[in-house]
Structure 1
């Protein structure tokens, strides 16, 4: 017989083996399915891997400035201050400028700017940088920028921090020919990237192979690379990006669409009101990283600005990405002129005499107008989340703005900015970092972590009461003394040391766990890498290339992301009982989607928000690479333009009945009668088969004449991972003439045959059961919309 200790050892060994086996099987189950290979992109185009996650944690960008330690752009001059700001205090009184801010006539003076300032030495790689420019002129360089070679239109400089261990760089246009003035300055680093890995710098082509793609040098391909690989590598780990700082809306008076930041501007940096990245660039960043996007509309933006902004996002942001829409930023914050603006507008509208209250009320009115305008432009609100900004220490403020005129009914989320660490009087009396942490964690200390989480809990309860989600538009530590003006002023050195202390990472973990436990959803941390200065140490890292082990906040956040799978759902709670929307049954005739008109016949297929086809009606083994799709419709007075993108690993057609082969079916109830069965008169079922030139009428369809069938044109183009159907369906063929606000019921099906014979699977757009295609009341209602 085995001795008792030996039995225990054997049992423990067996348990350990079973545990390891379970972990192995779990990780194998969690592995993503391999995806089909994608074709190589055109030369010069940067191919970004898809990095999609449900956004449990997001990140705020930074304002564009020469001292932005996140270095978002590969062209360093993008972040320089505008020449007009004369930051170098040169003799520039008589200088004139073109529409984009380039000095077109020096008139005996000089102009200059800084493009790097007050940055840690390792923020960018030291070495030789190439300066490209157009025109006839001369550039002088200053601080840590040293000219080593000059050719017309091209200088070579070195950038290397000096003995002060801070990186600063400036330039001066000393001479410029007014007939061909110096312009379009670009400052580009050495090296480049491999085409299929935009997250890593490489020195030369020897680092690239077939798998990583061809070598793209920064100097030759800056216009397509755009973003600093170090910046992309940092941003890729977050689920969403809040563009408020980068967009430059803080204290920005712009009201008209033509006043927005432009791609052609000399720089995107500067002070309040001047800086701002173009919307085109922000959308490009979200698309490349495949991250949800949080946009803030400037406080003074007029209706045309709002609609144009919405239209650009609608047409250019990847339709798979979620949009968070917020009007302005912190209108309650008296440090910003946004609050003064809303107060004046509220008084103009005669909402009352209390300036603060009418400002809050105007904020809700304008926010609802913006939400409604976006809904009109998008033809629905499925793609965006309507966000109302709260005040983290004032749940009463949130209750006021949500309840005013039933604003909560037109809002999806309340967002606050929970910052811990605000006991300024106590911090001024501290002498050690230990004292700072004691105050930051004491339950009776103002804005301590426990107190902040208590306020989060109250906001979560309030959000649940109104039936909206609780989001964090910003959040993290907030150790700052606004009375100081120098980084070495007390208590700033203690604040900096606390941010660099491992205990700060522990507080971030506690903060994020507390946020989730209270019911908070998406948290947009503040912020991308920033230097520590008298105005705070806000960045998760102090500079973009700072090692993880030197940045405890960043390390803690990455650990938190790793421990909380990104695929965890972030479901919206049901509307509460006191919300009348909660108990109102959905009207079956309410539109599910909207068809907008096709004003440009050349651009009607897949230009916005395709709809997913993923309801399995037939088949057992469902693989999205083999049976999946998206569809879309647009219309004009003459035709319906139907597009269906099918993902199918193998196209097969060997049957007389096209429904038994690879094909697409389109069903439409033209009078929207929505009977429980096909009526044989106005319910049409069209089959588009991959191997046929003419549409086929399904046996359960209402009849169509031979001429009507011939008038329906379509094309099925084979792709590497499936095919795409593009069809032109004349309304005359269906015996109808739609108008704006008309409704029809429709459904879309995809049939799949993999091995010959009968079909192996079928998916549809709308279905409650397998009889959906013969039951029009299960179909989706479509509203015909104007622009």
Structure 2
């Protein structure tokens, strides 16, 4: 009725009916097995037939339904088939679609015509050409000479190599001048910033435009080069002050990047601080980084003891620590400590996160930086 009121056709684009439970964490977790069985049951074909018949009776015209063959999993059973060569008799949804098309080849005026119209195909353009037309700044194509000369921070002033600073003095804890003994041994200071961390430190001083942000959603791009997973990675500046105050960017500034490939999730955080302090028993009371990861973006009210993680790293600590409520996590990390800066780089295997990487996968990340200026 609404389509008729406006004089337009009623058409549909359908991705596939299926059943899903957003709270499940594993493919084999109940009730996912029941959902898979329901999608394979012949009655699913009956339901599809009713769907198409109802569409026709409602005055619907073109109905586009993509087959999208894929293995059924906890994220859904969208495909009409589970794999391309699956026999039709084992795929009730696909069989119902073919049966309806055969029985209803065309039912509305203008659906078909004996006249064949030849239209001119649009010009084939490269992504670079399209980006110019759209007004975007084109990126060089992968593995081309232009890509090698492209510099993500070419328009940002380069940093000079910082000088080494002495280790902070140890603080006494009270009467008797008792020294805290459970602070881990210090990591050494780097004499100068490495080529690995130079781009993010430059971006920290003058952050680029964050074009890949939608509301509170940042985009993590797939790594092009496994030897440098952060090349071309999007970067984001920490802007929210949870408590206290920041007296300008020299007092505290932080910047993070992430990327991924089929094996690992990569995360890098850089912190600039005019006064770096490390003298407390608890690492979160000193200059430190806290990272919260919700690997399946379930956004539960409590830690699920499965793939919710809380990582803590204090300036010049030799190791990472996990929060008391965090699930266990196998993780490789690298830290660099330079005058006024420290950079933490993480490489986390996907199997440790109990997640399977794919384009469009959502992951919850919360990066906090603690600033201790007064000891």
- TM (norm. structure 2) is 0.44
Task: Answer 1 or 2: higher relative contact order, Cα 8 Å, separation at least 6.
Answer: 2
| Bigger proportion of residues as helix | 1
- TM (norm. structure 1) is 0.22
| Bigger proportion of residues as strand | 1
Greater radius of gyration (CA)? 1
